[in-house]
Amino acid sequence: MGKSENIPPSLADTNVSACHPSHQILFEPVQIGPVTAPNRFYQVPHASGMTETHPRVRAAFRETKAEGGWGVVSTGAVSIHPSSDDSPLPFARLWNDADIASHALSTEAIHRHGSLAAVELWHGGAVVMNRTSRLPPLSPSGISWAATHVGFMGQQRPKKMTGADIDEVLHWQRLATRRALDAGFDILYVYAGMGYLGYEFLLPEYNHRDDGYGGALENRVRFVREMLEVTRDEAGSRAAVALRISLEELRGKASDHYESEAHGVVSLLSDVPDLWDVKMDSSPTDCGASRFRPEGAHERIIDFVKRVTDRPVVGVGRFTSPDTMVSQIRRGVLDLIGGARASIADPFLPSKIREGNSDGIRECIGCNICIASWHDGVPVRCTQNATAGEEWRRGWHPERFARTTQPDSVLVVGGGPAGLEAALIAAKQGFEVTIAEQTADWGGRVLQESQLPGMSTWRRVRDYRVWALSQLGNVSMYTNSALDAEAALSFGADHIAVATGARWTKRLYSSLEIPAAPLDLPQILTPEDVFAGTVAGDRVLVFDYDNYYLGGVIAEHLAEQGKVVSYATPAGHASAWTFMTNELPFVYQALARRDVAIHTTTNLMNFDGNRAALQNLFNATPLEIEVDAIVIVGHRDPEDALYQSLVGARAPNDSSSIQLLGDALAPGAIVHAVHSGHSFARGLIETDTLYLRDEPLVPAEPARVFPQR
């Protein structure tokens, strides 16, 4: 089902004359079985938190990527049957015909821009807990997935599949394929990665079967082969069949006949799928945070695949640099450049490369807030792209902005993430913008934090916005400009945005989570003292109840400076919330490398200037540590004094607006600050600040969700 007849000028236009000559290879079409991808930009399947309950939000989110030039746009995981039920985590489904319409919204939207639509048909095997459907999870041999992992704690163990169960799953794949075709998808997946059912058949540790599906590698690939064959049989020439497979563990396994078991699997199935989508085995390694994984980190595992198959290969690696992408293709690593996070942070990345505007790419920073959204069970949020997930419900487009009819002026005070985003979006809407920052450089907290170990990529939040502001003629930018109320009002701006950030406090909490009096000694410090480089003494305790990245990074940083560092937290893990962003295991590795002693479920009770008195949160067992200083990474208070004095100082008849933004309004993560700045600027034109609530497409009759054979 080639889409050439439908391709609008944006993608059908093969004119890449503005594109840098060395990047033009990225715009070559690629044949994938019976369909043709219009270019090499492939938005691989990724979770969006948008399920059948958010069909319009989902369609607009995916459509924006097609509009931005991604030649293939995929769904996230789409369950083929209620025995693959990941709730309460969000997942989509094609369990019966009633589910077709909501997917058709997405495929129509993707096709409008000439892109191909791919569906990641998925059976979760023993990974899912079937909390809603209450069916036993399926597995080759009844072996639990991640049984030791607290995050998977479900108390539900999988059943061992009989031969009849295998036949049923194959039939469900056939039914889901039929529905996917009816929904208009062009590429249909079989998923054998990340612990899901196909993957469990491949690995001997999970597959102990003594029938034709277990034992020798030829037998272990049989289930995946049959899933591919049944999909092909049903799809005929209407759609391509893709295999998504994790190769990390298999690559480490010796094989009698092949260089590794990964080589064996790809050889045995070499020409069965039309496309190989190759990846790592677990979310922390597959979707690694930039703190611990560079761009292109998958290459060492997947670099052999193209040598073993002549079918096209797509893979990811948080690619944002066109030179890196071209290098992957020229060196024969990949045929198609996979993007998940890169496509969320900038849906228009391909268009920008084609227009020779690579500087304009809003590069992903690898913070994994998008993944945390999925873990939270909500539609995707992105630190770099405030419009992600807001395309339909708020009508926010990442590149198009309404233009003001009033030539109003806007003064933004504070050049951190919130202030920079507010200034940029206000300027793009045609306002006359002035932004003032009291320090010598732009970026606020990002500038400071990005100097800590592993954090340099986060600087892109600042760099992209400072660059983009410098391209506009209606912006005046002043550093070294601390404004008080009088100075701010003297600009006579129609709108004043106060984005002055927040400050860390020395506040503590009791074991009952009640705020306790701050410890007020000169040796009690906050992250600001770390940024200022004024942490004196050789022995430091980092006491962290913020629980996101900063406490752990500061411990690493101080240890790197040669100090003896202890880290204590009331939480159950160091940097506990980084569980949500796939960083947690690597935080522990980094702290271990620096010999940082970790004390979890531990509260800070007192400090006499020499000894920190700690206590186990649950059983009150005391612990004393001799330290010269304590850095408390806990609570932040808004820096809103300027706002308060502005409101007090302005004349009674002054009709200008004054608004607080970002951390100065409510301290949060950088994603919150950017979104706040963006909301402010859109609100200068939008009269209705409420968003549309999406609703499921309700079938006429309640659907039966247990398909009968």
List interacting residues with ligand ADP (CB under 6 A): 413-419, 436-439, 444-445, 482-483, 499-501, 639, 642, 662-664, 673
Among ligand SF4, ligand ADP, none, partner that 642 touches (CB below 5 to 8 angstroms by kind):
ligand ADP
Spatial separation of the C-alpha atoms in residues 438 and 530, rounded to whole Å = 19
Among ligand SF4, ligand ADP, none, partner that 366 touches (CB below 5 to 8 angstroms by kind):
ligand SF4
Does residue 291 interact with ligand SF4 by CB under 6 A? no
Does residue 228 interact with ligand SF4 by CB under 6 A? no
Please give the structure tokens belonging to residue 177. 């394929």
Among ligand ADP, ligand SF4, none, partner that 214 touches (CB below 5 to 8 angstroms by kind):
none
If you write DSSP's letter for every residue of 443-477 in order, what string do you get?
Answer: -THHHHHTTSTT-GGGGHHHHHHHHHHHT-TTEEE
Does residue 578 interact with ligand SF4 by CB under 6 A? no
Q: Of 7-15, 367-375, 478-486, 556-564, which segment contacts ligand SF4 by CB under 6 A?
A: 367-375
- Closest residue by Cα to residue 131 from 181, 174, 91: 91
**Of the residues 98, 217, 364, 558, which one makes contact with ligand SF4 according to CB under 6 A:** 364
Q: Do the beta carbons of residue 68 and residue 348 sit within 8 Å?
A: yes
Torsion angle of the four alpha carbons 680, 683, 685, 691, in this order, in degrees rounded to the nearest 10: 140
Please give the structure tokens belonging to residue 390. 């807001």
**Which candidate in 196, 213, 548, 643 is catalytic?**
196
Does residue 424 interact with ligand SF4 by CB under 6 A? no
In terms of CB distance, is 666 or 705 closer to ligand ADP? 666
Q: Of 364-372, 511-519, 625-633, 682-690, which segment contacts ligand SF4 by CB under 6 A?
A: 364-372
Among ligand ADP, ligand SF4, none, partner that 439 touches (CB below 5 to 8 angstroms by kind):
ligand ADP
In terms of CB distance, is 79 or 457 closer to ligand SF4? 457
Please give the structure tokens belonging to residue 423. 């200034």
Strand order in the sheet with 564-568: 524-525, 629-633, 539-544, 564-568, 597-599
Query: What is the closest distance, in whole angstroms, from the C-beta atom of residue 382 to ligand SF4 in the complex?
Result: 3
- Closest residue by Cα to residue 207 from 177, 243, 175, 249: 249
Among ligand ADP, ligand SF4, none, partner that 99 touches (CB below 5 to 8 angstroms by kind):
none
Look at residue 42 and give its three-state secondary structure.
Answer: strand
Query: What is the closest distance, in whole angstroms, from the C-beta atom of residue 289 to ligand SF4 in the complex?
Result: 8
Does residue 341 interact with ligand SF4 by CB under 6 A? yes
Encoded one letter per residue, x for contact with ligand SF4 by CB under 6 A and - for no contact, window 368-407 reads xxx-----------xxx-----------------------
Spatial separation of the C-alpha atoms in residues 60 and 110, rounded to whole Å = 9
In terms of CB distance, is 351 or 383 closer to ligand SF4? 383
Spatial separation of the C-alpha atoms in residues 589 and 77, rounded to whole Å = 30
Q: Do the beta carbons of residue 74 and residue 336 sit within 8 Å?
A: no
Spatial separation of the C-alpha atoms in residues 585 and 574, rounded to whole Å = 10
- Closest residue by Cα to residue 85 from 161, 49, 136: 136
Query: What is the closest distance, in whole angstroms, from the C-beta atom of residue 499 to ligand ADP in the complex?
Result: 5
Does residue 139 interact with ligand SF4 by CB under 6 A? no
Which residues fall within 8 angstroms of residue 190, CB to CB, at 6 or more apart? 121, 173, 198, 224, 227, 228, 231, 241, 242, 243, 244, 273
Q: Is 42 a catalytic residue?
A: no
Does residue 337 interact with ligand SF4 by CB under 6 A? no
Among ligand ADP, ligand SF4, none, partner that 367 touches (CB below 5 to 8 angstroms by kind):
ligand SF4
Query: What is the closest distance, in whole angstroms, from the C-beta atom of residue 623 to ligand ADP in the complex?
Result: 34
Does residue 344 interact with ligand SF4 by CB under 6 A? yes
Among ligand SF4, ligand ADP, none, partner that 44 touches (CB below 5 to 8 angstroms by kind):
none
If you write DSSP's letter for every residue of 113-174 in order, what string do you get?
Answer: TT-EEEEEEE--GGG---TTT-PPPEESSSPPSSTT-GGG--S-PPEEPPHHHHHHHHHHHH
Q: Where in the sequence numbering do the catalytic residues fall?
A: 196
Question: Where do contacts with ligand SF4 occur on this chain (CB under 6 A)?
Answer: 341, 344-345, 364-370, 382-384
